[in-house]
Amino acid sequence: MNSIRFFKAIILLLGIFVLLINGCTHIDRPEQIVTHPEKIKNWGTDPPKAKDRARHPISGEKPFEWWYFDGHLDNGQVFVGVYQVPSFVSGEIEAIFSLYSKDWSREDHIVRLNPDEVKVSYEDLHIETPVGFIRRLDDAHYHVKWNIDDIEAEFTLTTLSPGWMPTNKTGKVNQPERDFFWAVHQGRNRIEGTITKNGKIEHVTGIGYADHNWGEKPLHKITRKWVWGRIIAGDYTIIYADVDYFEPGLVLNPLYIAKGDKMIVGSNPAIRQWNFETHPLLKRHYPKQIAVTYGSKDIQLSVNIKKKRLVEDVDLLEIAGYNGFLRWMIKTFIARPTYFRVIADFDGKVMINDRVDNISGECLYEVMGFE
């Protein structure tokens, strides 16, 4: 009799265990996600000022700040370079340089730094570390460098399309009462420099982008997820995002449009995400199709984006250094934070007054999730 009770107890515990595994961090795959603003907002077209580019005197629970650079090189490679002071994932000061080959295989170079090794200006963008630097030479030029492991990358970045600091008179965007901030430093830049690997120097050129994020508490306590993307189509540079905040009533879906060296739209579009795919290992979903639409009196945008290839799928717990049983516990009972990077095709049109420009090509978008 006791053995039967024991057996039933084991079955009950196993059942509870299975339910916890399948239920605690399970998220249903959405049919679609639509952000449609009640009204068009004007968030200006001003670039960030010197102190917006610089380090911020942030107080709060585990604040973070990072400066991000990427570029598509004419030799077919892609790079991503970041300085995190500190990282929103690990809480450490880090320098990161990732290089992607033509087939999108990736090599990562990451180093953690001690605070006394790093000098970061609070007045302008100037970061000095033993493994590289960021130096704003003037409003049009940046000088950046990473020297980690067996690779050294050094570039001059010349602004082709300007930066953007979203703001407005009602204090709803990038204002002190917010927890999470974003500024574009260069909407599009021209890259010229060198990549040295194992003593071999290669001169490279290309087209890139630079921005800057900072916040006052852990990102997973600010936002559930976001989608962010960038499109380069002839003279047009288009940047969009849809950020899902925990704070009730707060929606941030910025849209940047520049034509040549002039920013022409700083506002909020309608964004639709659908045709979601579930990653077989990470158990999280990302959209295979996105539509971005915007319309004002003088300027209209309509663009459809369709996944071509998933090129990056990251378990953020692994990046943060969680391993073994602890990582399993977090993924099972708390959250499965993930990052996806997607290469996509796009087509659409931009209408300025009565002129219509059809646009098409290849672009990228990312999906970050913290649940």
**What residue ranges do the domains of the chain occupy?**
2-369
Q: Is the pTM of this model over 0.85?
A: yes
The dihedral sign for the CA sequence 306, 312, 315, 321? negative
Q: Give the CA distances from residue 195 to residues 35, 74, 129, 144, 152, in Å, rounded to whole numbers and listed in that order.
A: 41, 13, 18, 12, 6
Q: What is the CA radius of gyration of the chain?
A: 22
pLDDT per residue rounded down to tens, the chain (371 residues)? 445 554 444 444 444 344 444 446 787 888 999 988 878 888 899 999 998 999 988 877 788 999 999 999 999 999 999 999 988 878 889 999 999 999 888 899 999 999 999 999 999 999 999 999 999 999 899 999 999 999 999 999 999 999 999 886 554 555 555 677 889 999 999 999 999 998 899 999 999 999 999 888 888 888 888 899 999 999 999 999 998 887 765 667 899 999 999 999 999 999 999 999 999 988 889 999 999 999 998 999 999 999 999 998 888 767 666 677 766 666 666 677 889 999 999 999 999 998 999 999 999 999 988 88
Judged by phi (left if over 0) then psi (alpha if -120 to 50, else beta), residue 264 lies in alpha
Hey, what CATH topology would domain 2-369 get? AttH-like fold (2.40.370)
Q: Give the CA distances from residue 252 to residues 37, 57, 179, in Å, rounded to whole numbers and listed in that order.
A: 10, 23, 12
The dihedral sign for the CA sequence 182, 310, 106, 187? negative
- Count of alpha carbons within 13 angstroms of residue 302, beta-carbon side: 7
CB 78 within 8 A of CB 362: no
